[in-house]
Structure 1
Amino acid sequence: MTITDDYLPVPVPESLTATYLVPTSGEPPLTPAEAVAALGDRLAAPVRDLATQMIDSPLLTVDTRPVVDFPHLPPDLLAAFGATGEQLARLAAASHLVVVDASYRPGWPPAHEWAARAVAAALAESLDADLIDVFALQILSPAVALRSLPDADGRVRLVDWLLVPYSSDADGLWFTTKGLRRFGLLELQAEGVPPHLTRAWGAVMTGVARRILRTWTEELTATEPPAFAQLPIRATVSGHDIAVAYGNPDQHDGGRPATLRLELDPAPDPDADSFLSLRPPAGHTGPPGRYFAAVCATLFGATGSDVRYTRPADAMATAIATARDRLPDIRDRFLADELPADAQLVVKYALPSDDGPEYVWATVTSWLDPDRILGSGANDATTDPAVRMGCPVMVNTDDVVDWAVLDGTGVVEGGWTQAVLDAG
């Protein structure tokens, strides 16, 4: 392999393993092969054939063990990744876990993941139970797991296999991916992302992951995977990449792509994870956040921002009323330092403009006066050049239309108006 300044040599693992658990109180009524066969056409033929072949080989094992033989699965963490109360209750009541393990070499298709998830979903359905994706620490219903598997043409939605968590730091938001290691690739990270780009940047990360994953698997087409694969330092992402990653290949406008720089950030601790970092291109001046904002503007235009214009329809009016009704309580909790650790309180307020109010967000830093909130801008306003991200702002409480408590996983409380917007 030729090493050049245009490519990053990324190590390729020799093999990959997928593990799924099925909580139960007894042995499965069907064998793995019988459970897969019972799914019928709910499992596309390519996946059914792959799972059947893996079941008949030493590459996939199924074993039932007592729950006490396993490390404790933290319910709060499972809940943070989407587990419902009913799912957690079923897990707590289980006496045994059916363990599905599969191994395969890196490349495409990821046979270990597809086969293990298919078998676990089939066994879970036969037990009227859930399955746990150990890699992502997610509890899935059999129906959700089956929908994530490839269709008859081998197509999958990357968002069903990839999480994009984020957390706050002094320079903005720190985004990472969780899912690329399923395919043997290092996870992505980006630091200093402006808070108002939360949803847009999550889509950008997903699109970049899709582009890099495609390059990665193309590098691994040989019978014997190389020790290193080369990834281009210039990471290009387009609207098409994002649309395909979300399972909507026909819903993109064919607009201009955006370019980011890819850097290898090896972990100083051998037990910690290394990352592929997304940064502005060489020669860019100014904070990374401004370039990230330009990337979102290139890919999404005005919709790349969480700044929205809206007229208060019934659902929106109800959301605003709910948020305003709970303002006194959230202020009391903020002043009493009763918010979750490492969480931040943000408020959404109205700025007047000729086209109607522009709604922007601010991070609350002080709220001693019940009528006035001191904070810092969470995004640049379009209509008021004085309202800029990171700059001090004073907000009249009467202008607040929503609030939210954010932690490393996203919105943990509030955000009613955003929920209405997200619902279309």
Structure 2
Amino acid sequence: MKITYPVPAETTSVFVVVTDRTPTELSSIVPWRMGRPHRRTAMEALGTPRLELEAFRAAQSPWRRMDLDGDDIRKQVRRARHHIVVSSIAPVTAQPEAAQVARAAARGVAEAYHGVIVDPLTGTALTHCPQCPGERQEFRLGDDWLGWTSEVDETGSCPPWEPAASGLCSCLRVTTRGLRRFGLPEIMLDGAACAHSLCTVDILRAVADRLLLGHLDWITGHPGAPCRTIGEHLRIGQADFAVFSGSPDLDDEPFRVRLTRDAADRSCLRIGPPDGFDGTVNDWLCRTPGILAA
């Protein structure tokens, strides 16, 4: 079986630098205060939709209220005096470089104004400091490009977790935040036990990384194509889990995942056990390398 997902012609990236310092001439910072790998591209893109900078008094900022992960960062956004918005609207075929250049510009602004970089799409604040490495030239999904939305069914009942117990709940739903920046649908795992939250994130990361690598290769060879068709089953090698979770490479047997379209949100892909698997979602999750290595 196959599934087809839409591919947008262009995507948007936004990074908000929150600071108490008054921004002056931003053109003196971007591209000159940026890291060398992305400076030339930023110079060419600045002032076009692919790279725009705009400063707001925080009280008038359209980004004053964002769906962020954590009370501390929400307070920083509300209490800051200024928001400097770095945005990029680029063809999907220009990803991931266009997003990397925009984030590199945000790092330069944050360094100049001692600000905090907030990514509204992932809902997180980016790690940045004068001693921190800048934006890499090579792209890695694990470099804070992915966030999470976790939802728990309030009507469910969660028994105390025991490794050997079979009475686990199925209350948890976790959805990625960030893949649509690259023209790929977000992915979601539903029906897991609350006790398996870390394992759920590990498998979503591994699946996201595998899907995105194939997606970026495909759009390079199919510019302008409005949709992509892929097989509904995906094989994830043990080494794919080790990249994110630190679990050892246990053996050569791949972990199989089934992809389906979400009926409630057609822009999202669900992942779950493969066809023919005899058991629950939790039984399937217990076979991931992260659980087996614990």
- Per the normalisation by structure 1, the TM-score is 0.58
Is residue 162–residue 177 contact of structure 1 (8 Å, CA) maintained in 2? yes
Is residue 202–residue 290 contact of structure 2 (8 Å, CA) maintained in 1? no
Equivalent residue, structure 1, for 2:259: 262
Secondary structure, aligned partner of 1:160: coil
Equivalent residue, structure 2, for 1:19: 14
Query: What is the alpha-carbon distance in structure 2 between the residues aligned to residue 52 and residue 176 of structure 1?
Result: 35
Q: CA deviation at 1:187?
A: 0.9
Is residue 206–residue 236 contact of structure 2 (8 Å, CA) maintained in 1? yes
Q: CA deviation at 1:56?
A: 5.5
Equivalent residue, structure 1, for 2:236: 237
Amino acid at match of 1:230: T
Alignment of 1:126 onto 2:121: no
Equivalent residue, structure 1, for 2:293: 303
Equivalent residue, structure 1, for 2:159: none
Query: What is the alpha-carbon distance in structure 1 between the residues aligned to residue 36 and residue 27 of structure 2?
Result: 17
Counting only pairs closer than 5 Å after superposition, residues 132-143 of structure 1 correspond to structure 2 as 132-143=118-129
Alignment of 1:38 onto 2:52: no
Q: CA deviation at 1:253?
A: 5.0
Q: CA deviation at 1:236?
A: 1.5
- Calculate the aligned-residue CA RMSD, in Å: 3.1
Q: CA deviation at 1:71?
A: 4.3
Equivalent residue, structure 2, for 1:274: 267
Equivalent residue, structure 1, for 2:281: 288
Counting only pairs closer than 5 Å after superposition, residues 150-299 of structure 1 correspond to structure 2 as 150-151=136-137, 154-158=138-142, 160-169=144-153, 170=156, 171-222=170-221, 224-245=223-244, 252=249, 255-267=252-264, 274-294=267-287, 296=288, 299=289
Structure possessing the higher relative contact order (Cα contacts under 8 Å, 6 or more residues apart): 2
Equivalent residue, structure 1, for 2:161: none
Equivalent residue, structure 2, for 1:53: 44
167 and 26 in structure 1: CA distance in 2 versus 1, 3 angstrom threshold = closer
Segments of structure 2 that go 5 or more residues without pairing to the other structure are: 157-169
Q: CA deviation at 1:186?
A: 1.0
122 and 81 in structure 1: CA distance in 2 versus 1, 3 angstrom threshold = same
Query: What is the alpha-carbon distance in structure 2 between the residues aligned to residue 273 and residue 50 of structure 1?
Result: 35
Cα displacement string for residues 345-401 of structure 1 (whole angstroms, at most 9, x for unaligned residues): xxxxxxxxxxxxxxxxxxxxxxxxxxxxxxxxxxxxxxxxxxxxxxxxxxxxxxxxx
Alignment of 1:116 onto 2:102: yes
Q: CA deviation at 1:96?
A: 2.9
65 and 54 in structure 1: CA distance in 2 versus 1, 3 angstrom threshold = same
Secondary structure, aligned partner of 2:220: coil
Query: What is the alpha-carbon distance in structure 1 between the residues aligned to residue 11 and residue 131 of structure 2?
Result: 20
Cα displacement string for residues 267-301 of structure 1 (whole angstroms, at most 9, x for unaligned residues): 3xxxx67320112222333322212222x1xx246
Q: CA deviation at 1:191?
A: 1.5
Amino acid at match of 2:150: Y
182 and 73 in structure 1: CA distance in 2 versus 1, 3 angstrom threshold = same
Query: What is the alpha-carbon distance in structure 2 between the residues aligned to residue 29 and residue 62 of structure 1?
Result: 12
The number of equivalent residue pairs is: 279
Secondary structure, aligned partner of 2:293: helix
57 and 108 in structure 1: CA distance in 2 versus 1, 3 angstrom threshold = closer
Secondary structure, aligned partner of 1:291: helix
11 and 244 in structure 1: CA distance in 2 versus 1, 3 angstrom threshold = same
Amino acid at match of 1:263: T
Segments of structure 1 that go 5 or more residues without pairing to the other structure are: 305-424
Q: CA deviation at 1:229?
A: 1.1
Query: What is the alpha-carbon distance in structure 2 between the residues aligned to residue 25 and residue 289 of structure 1?
Result: 47
Is residue 238–residue 250 contact of structure 2 (8 Å, CA) maintained in 1? yes
Q: Give the number of the structure whose alpha-carbon radius of gyration is greater.
A: 1
Percent of residue pairs bearing the same amino acid type = 22
Query: What is the alpha-carbon distance in structure 2 between the residues aligned to residue 144 and residue 132 of structure 1?
Result: 17
Q: CA deviation at 1:159?
A: 5.3
302 and 280 in structure 1: CA distance in 2 versus 1, 3 angstrom threshold = closer
Alignment of 1:104 onto 2:103: no
Equivalent residue, structure 1, for 2:80: 94
Alignment of 1:66 onto 2:65: no
Q: CA deviation at 1:21?
A: 1.7
Cα displacement string for residues 246-267 of structure 1 (whole angstroms, at most 9, x for unaligned residues): 7x7x974554210011001143
